[in-house]
Structure 1
Amino acid sequence: MTLAPDHSGGSSDDHADSAEAPSPARRTYSYLGPAGTFTEAALSQVPEARDQIWRPVRNVGEALSDVVEGRSDAAMIAIENSVDGGVSTAQDALATMPGLRIVGEYLVPVNFVLVGRPGTRLDDVALVAAHPVAYAQCLQWLTARLPEHAHLPAASNVASAVGIVDGVSDADAAIAPPGILDHYDLELLAEGIGDNANAVTRFVLVSRTVVAPPPTGADKTSLIVELPEEYPGALLELLEQFATRGINLSLLASRPIGDALGRYRFVIDADGHVRDERMADALLGLRRFSPKVLFLGSYPRADRAIVHYPDRYSDDVFVEARDWLRGLISGEPEG
């Protein structure tokens, strides 16, 4: 999908100048397609993505491969849902694909409708196509209204409905975003079928490795960390790297490393920015403690909520402590 470029007016001289100077190259953004997905809704929140090239893909791995291999400048992927938790495929892909950085996060309210081919009735539905995350978020409604239904997994929330339209799906109905009715001729069987009216999905914009944007005071830092070995208190020691520096964690999730049973990596979102003294000190502690620390990026929080912390963890305190230590080492008299 390509968004229409800006056709703003200008003088004849402006047009002459533009004819002589090459226009700037347009950027490409990959997202889970086709058009109408929640991922596309998240990408529409990115100001710099407007009037650029939007590339629909089939899965998270393809979106991130586009970035790594240079087909796209950035990719929008779902990373966490307020109901279903972390998106494991995205977390695992970020853990295993080098050279990526999260540069922003975006929140999209999640609501679903149940749709079918024209003429379909709710009583006709036995097989429901749905993305696994969407299916989990509508399970209570489905169990109450369609207790004998079966689930047919789909690649995306829109693909579940497109398969019905194209006749390639055996499903009788599909769970999809409400906007699907604006793009396809489908029968609305039920709306508002999500089990939680306050459900929100968190998306992140991922680019190749870049310098983190300047701190705003309302920032988040994402990391993936492995324990050095299995022993009692190992996870506690990892968490103490943050607790002793007054850093709150908004996400802590475990994912299997895959090389042996019982081996896990930890996906972490910490309040603050890598340029904050307390966060930098925590990362140094993690680096000394863990055999592998993957820095995924520091970026503004989607809710723009200012990160608050006790005064004893302010940047000035860390700077003063370092200056004090330098004075001790250099033999300066203590005042």
Structure 2
Amino acid sequence: MTTDPDAPARRSYSYLGPAGTFTEAALAQVPEARNQHWRSVRNVGEALADVVEGRSDAAMIAIENSVDGGVSTAQDALATMPGLRIVGEYLVPVDFVLVARPGTTLEQVSLIAAHPVAYAQCLQWLTRTLPAHAHVPASSNVASAMGLLDGTSDADAAIAPPGILEHHELTLLAENLGDNPNAVTRFVLVARTVAPPAPTGADKTSLIAELPDDHPGALLEMLEQFATRGINLSLLASRPIGDALGRYRFVIDADGHIEDERMADALLGLRRFSPKVVFLGSYPRADRAIVRYPERYSDDVFVEARDWLRGLLSGEPEA
């Protein structure tokens, strides 16, 4: 078998594995990742290190869950690992199935393996359907099912992502276990630092910023950089910096693109205010919802104001 020397090299993508995870389901939504090399890793830090060190072209990581909030390990890693840029976001509905070894019936289930977060999200269903069950914590959603197959778990069944059935011979005992039918996890595709893609009108900008010091109104001053320019924030989460009590960084998702005049102006104001700003990227929103804003914050208004100021400085007579 010969290899075409002119064929493009296969790209590599890291994701939290093994096969069957929600992260794999998110990566499957990326058109350019299809038929490329997918590298299964054990944690977020390893996935991002693959990108920084060149083992992968990009990594898919979970950043936010509609039920549990921000994924702190991912937010902290993005805040402290330089050279990374978010290039896209993807939404995956969070639902679970109950699986068992072939031949097992639902009536035989009394001990269930599940990751603690997944278990909490299915507790109402479990209480209603299997009121006498006991719970065995698992290290991950996929590990709960793998323990049934490799003999390391004494559980009768496991709560796992639906994708597990595509990769392993397991019996489906029940589906749609999640107590919240609207639960969704937001994933981001992270690459090495590149120029942001062109604005689409349905974009999001992600940032991490620190307050200059701890004083009354400091957070309000930071938020005013966005509010006074008509920019809506869809995420504002605090994470401890770790060097002292009371010191926090803020993870921010803002509606709009860095090439929008109002966003660029806000970033300049934030840079003047904050001792450290990490620009994580401007990228298309997963829902493709067009960003709406009042006309007084349109690009033309900002351009006209700059032109007016330049005229004053140059001594041009005012019209």
Secondary structure in 1 aligned to 2:126? helix
TM-score by length of 2: 0.93
Q: How does 1:321-332 map to 2 (within 5 A)?
A: 321-332=305-316
Secondary structure in 2 aligned to 1:158? helix
Across the two proteins, how many residue pairs are aligned to each other?
317
Secondary structure in 2 aligned to 1:103? strand
Paired position in structure 2 for 1:309: 293
Identity %: 82
Q: How does 1:135-146 map to 2 (within 5 A)?
A: 135-144=119-128, 145-146=130-131
Aligned-pair CA distance for 1:122: 4.7
Provide structure 2 residue ranges, at least 5 long, that are not aligned to the other structure: none
Paired position in structure 2 for 1:182: 166
Aligned-pair CA distance for 1:126: 5.4
Provide structure 1 residue ranges, at least 5 long, that are not aligned to the other structure: 1-15
Query: Structure 2 vs 1, CA of residues 240 and 136 (structure 1 numbering), >3 Å: closer, same or farther?
Result: farther
Aligned-pair CA distance for 1:230: 1.1
Paired position in structure 2 for 1:320: 304
> Pairwise CA RMSD of aligned residues?
1.9
The range that moved more, 185-194 or 36-45, is 185-194
Paired position in structure 2 for 1:152: 137
Paired position in structure 2 for 1:103: 87
Is 1:162 paired with 2:146?
yes
Partners of 1:126 and 1:137 lie apart in 2 by: 18
Aligned-pair CA distance for 1:120: 4.1
Paired position in structure 2 for 1:94: 78
User: Do the aligned residues in 1 keep the contact of 2:51 with 2:57 (CA within 8 Å)?
Assistant: yes
Aligned-pair CA distance for 1:125: 4.8
Partners of 1:248 and 1:147 lie apart in 2 by: 47
Query: Structure 2 vs 1, CA of residues 45 and 253 (structure 1 numbering), >3 Å: closer, same or farther?
Result: same
Partners of 2:77 and 2:124 lie apart in 1 by: 30
Q: What stretches of structure 1 move > 6 A for 4+ residues in a row? A: none
Paired position in structure 2 for 1:8: none
Is 1:59 paired with 2:58?
no
The range that moved more, 35-44 or 72-81, is 35-44
Residue among 177, 191, 195 paired with 2:175: 191
Structure 2 counterpart of 1:28, which letter?
S
Residue among 193, 206, 217 paired with 2:201: 217
User: Do the aligned residues in 1 keep the contact of 2:119 with 2:159 (CA within 8 Å)?
Assistant: yes
Paired position in structure 2 for 1:275: 259
The range that moved more, 265-274 or 166-175, is 166-175
Paired position in structure 2 for 1:207: 191
Query: Structure 2 vs 1, CA of residues 32 and 214 (structure 1 numbering), >3 Å: closer, same or farther?
Result: same
Paired position in structure 2 for 1:233: 217
